[in-house]
């Protein structure tokens, strides 16, 4: 469609409405950018984790001087292992970054309480046989998801903060008191 054909559709009111929509979009983007920039400006990225099933606790700097710290990553893989089978699997560093950014956004000192990190195929199949809420191709199988909560924040507030990051999947389980976060496509349930 040529510009002349569009001109009758775009009157002054439409133009102003379009401008207002653009301003809101830019404002939304700017607020997301400012939250991200506080995370992006960190010289070190750290996580504090507590596995509720094993009682293990870990506080570690996993990223420093522009790179991931391999020893810390190994410790994180271990604490986020499948507690049912003992299987350890690499956790995607993007999930760790999401958790760190979420922790920064929540302005909390408390550790992430881990309900579930990596899940082996055996565990996922067993859980799936008892619940339709467990995905057959869960991102837990790939080390790309975690079920978490923060002891000093409500799960509703954690969910809201996770959704605001617009960085992956967010599942809300208020009855079980946890939030699922992953680095898959952006979606919520």
- Residue length, the chain? 189
Element (H, E) at 145: strand 145-149
Contact criterion met (CB below 8 Å) for 124 and 141: yes
How far, CA to CA in Å, does 181 sit from each of 7, 41, 72, 113, 163? 46, 23, 21, 13, 9
Distance CA 93, CA 142 (A): 12
> What is the band of 42 on the pLDDT scale with cuts at 50, 70, 90?
confident
Whether pLDDT at 44 is above 80: yes
Give the closest residue to 103 by CA, choosing from 186, 165, 43, 53.
Answer: 165
> What is the band of 77 on the pLDDT scale with cuts at 50, 70, 90?
very high
- Residue 38: inside a domain, yes or no? yes
For 124-159, the pLDDT digits (tens) are 999 989 888 888 889 999 999 999 999 999 999 999
- Residue 187: inside a domain, yes or no? no
- Residue 21: inside a domain, yes or no? no
The region that residue 45 occupies, defined by phi over 0 for left and psi between -120 and 50 for alpha, beta otherwise, is beta
Contact criterion met (CB below 8 Å) for 104 and 39: yes
- Residue 15: inside a domain, yes or no? no
The count of structural domains within the chain is 1
Whether pLDDT at 172 is above 80: yes
Where is average pLDDT lowest: 18-27, 101-110, 119-128, 172-181?
A: 18-27
Residue-range definition of the domain harbouring residue 70: 29-142
- Residue 172: inside a domain, yes or no? no
- Predicted pLDDT of residue 29: 35
Whether pLDDT at 184 is above 50: yes
Looking up tokens 């469609």 gives 1
3-state DSSP assignment of residue 3: helix
- Residue 101: inside a domain, yes or no? yes
- Residue 163: inside a domain, yes or no? no
The DSSP annotation for 84-97 comes to TT----PPPHHHHH
- Predicted pLDDT of residue 86: 97
- Predicted pLDDT of residue 96: 98
- Residue 84: inside a domain, yes or no? yes
């Amino acid at each position: 469609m040529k510009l002349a054909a569009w001109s009758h559709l775009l009157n002054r009111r439409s133009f102003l409405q379009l401008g207002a929509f653009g301003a809101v979009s830019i404002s939304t983007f700017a607020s997301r950018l400012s939250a991200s920039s506080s995370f992006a400006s960190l010289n070190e990225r750290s996580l504090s984790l507590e596995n509720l099933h094993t009682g293990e606790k870990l506080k570690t700097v996993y990223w420093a001087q522009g790179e991931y710290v391999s020893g810390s990553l190994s410790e994180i893989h271990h604490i986020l292992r499948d507690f049912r089978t003992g299987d350890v699997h690499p956790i995607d560093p993007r999930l760790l970054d999401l958790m760190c950014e979420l922790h920064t956004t929540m302005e909390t000192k408390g550790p992430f309480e881990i309900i579930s990190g990596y899940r082996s195929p055996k565990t996922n199949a067993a859980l799936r046989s008892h619940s339709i809420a467990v995905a057959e191709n869960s991102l837990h199988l790939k080390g790309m998801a975690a079920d978490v909560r923060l002891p000093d924040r409500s799960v509703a507030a954690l969910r809201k903060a996770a959704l605001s990051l617009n960085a992956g999947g967010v599942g809300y389980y208020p009855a079980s008191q946890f939030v699922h976060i992953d680095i898959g496509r952006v979606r919520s349930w």
